[in-house]
């Protein structure tokens, strides 16, 4: 029994190890450039809105639909969903192919294909389309994780790992997010929630391969989830006639900050770890302030959240794909020793904090 009062989860069957990663992004644009060319005009050069854009901790982002060339704000939800299928297939295919190549696996070896997204819907979905295009086995199991938001990669990882442990076969997780399809009209600078969403979000696809009992990679040990009661209205993602509209309260970072210490202790404590033991922190960079408050509450030195800040700076907030992008930079860039623990955490509607404990395979 750990100090958190929770028993260590029982791990049975095969070990589930991340052995491959791939990602794909559309064309880039500069944060200052997009303010100058698009949003300064839409928001009448509002000083507060400009500060939000230029102090977001972002230098470049990527968008499937470049707002400098195409204004989607008047598109119907149907128009946006059709574009989601076209562009999501392209990005998703590239990310999956890169992950499979990194792991040295063929598409027909995958036993479970998990697709995560909160920015588009289609039936048949991207899971069926990409499984067919890539040459996966017709009997591959498929799972769609939809509309959970930025933290959805963690439940997706958990589902994939459970399959690997139970079946002893590889699984593939793909996160595809095209937030640029949901640009809303932004001519009211007092609508700060819309301004913030326009300043932060971007498009990307990220994929990981999990294999049974690999001697190299990151083994997924455990995941947890904490939802804060009474916070449902602080972060929302509503379907409208003109795409999905985000509600994002400025209270979000501080509310989540109040949960981070206890949630982390409950994640790592049952395995005999404490916060200082963790060698890598894949903190979802939902925004600059999110990374700051997590680092403050967990007393993490700046180098420990460098990968989160780097992904935010170069890519923005790509919803569920983002934490996988951070995790890969830790996997490739840090001198991890066998058995070193790594924590991934992401945040989203609920308000919900999802975390994953991994360790370097040994």
Residues with a known catalytic role: 150
Residue 30 and residue 13: Cα distance in Å, rounded?
47
Residue 154 and residue 116: Cα distance in Å, rounded?
10
Whether the Cβ atoms of residue 246 and residue 285 lie closer than 8 Å to each other? no
Segment holding 294, helix H or strand E: helix 288-298
Task: Name residue 65's beta-bridge partners.
Answer: none
Burial class (CB in 10 A: 0-12, 13-18, 19+), 163: buried
∠ Cα 211 139 117 (to 5°): 65
Structure tokens at 37: 């060319």
For residue 39, count other CB atoms closer than 10 A to its CB. Answer: 21
- Displacement of CA 219 from its chain's centroid (Å): 18
Whether the Cβ atoms of residue 156 and residue 144 lie closer than 8 Å to each other? no
- Displacement of CA 208 from its chain's centroid (Å): 12
Structure tokens at 154: 């963690």
Contacts 24+ apart (CB under 8 A), 131-138: 131/107, 133/89, 133/93, 134/93, 134/96, 134/97, 134/107, 135/106, 135/107, 135/108, 136/107, 136/108, 136/110, 137/108, 137/110
Alpha-carbon distance values, 295 to 251, 262, 271, 325 (Å) = 17, 14, 22, 19
3 state DSSP class of 159: helix
DSSP 230: T
């Amino acid at each position: 029994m750990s100090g958190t009062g929770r028993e260590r989860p029982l791990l049975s069957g095969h070990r589930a190890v991340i052995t491959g990663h791939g990602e794909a992004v559309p064309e880039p644009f500069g944060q200052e450039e997009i303010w100058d060319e698009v949003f300064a005009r839409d928001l009448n050069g509002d000083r507060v809105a400009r500060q939000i854009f230029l102090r977001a901790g972002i230098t470049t982002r990527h968008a499937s639909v470049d707002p400098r060339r195409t204004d989607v704000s008047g598109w119907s939800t149907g128009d946006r969903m059709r574009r989601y299928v076209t562009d999501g297939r392209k990005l998703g295919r590239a990310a999956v192919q890169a992950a499979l190549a990194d792991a040295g696996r063929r598409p027909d070896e995958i036993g479970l294909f998990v697709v995560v997204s909160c920015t588009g819907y289609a039936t048949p979905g991207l899971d069926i389309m990409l499984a067919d295009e890539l040459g996966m086995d017709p009997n591959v199991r498929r799972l769609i994780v939809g509309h959970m938001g930025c933290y959805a990669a963690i439940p997706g990882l958990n589902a994939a790992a459970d399959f690997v442990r139970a079946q002893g076969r590889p699984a593939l997780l793909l996160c595809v997010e095209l937030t640029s399809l949901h640009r809303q009209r932004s001519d009211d600078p007092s609508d700060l929630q819309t301004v913030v969403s326009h300043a932060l979000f971007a498009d990307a696809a990220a994929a990981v391969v999990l294999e049974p009992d690999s001697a190299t990679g990151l083994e997924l040990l455990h995941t947890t989830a904490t939802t804060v009661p009474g916070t449902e209205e602080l972060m929302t993602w509503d379907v409208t006639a003109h795409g999905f509209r985000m509600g994002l309260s400025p209270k979000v970072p501080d509310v989540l900050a109040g949960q981070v210490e206890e949630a982390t202790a409950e994640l790592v404590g049952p395995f005999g770890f404490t916060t200082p033991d963790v060698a890598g922190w894949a903190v979802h960079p939902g925004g600059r302030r999110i990374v700051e408050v997590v680092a403050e509450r967990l007393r993490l030195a700046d180098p420990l959240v460098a990968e989160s800040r780097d992904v935010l700076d170069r890519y923005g907030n790509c919803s569920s794909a983002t934490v996988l992008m951070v995790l890969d930079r830790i996997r490739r860039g840090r001198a991890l020793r066998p058995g070193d623990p790594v924590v991934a955490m992401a945040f989203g509607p609920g308000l919900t904090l999802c975390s994953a404990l991994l360790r370097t395979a040994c």
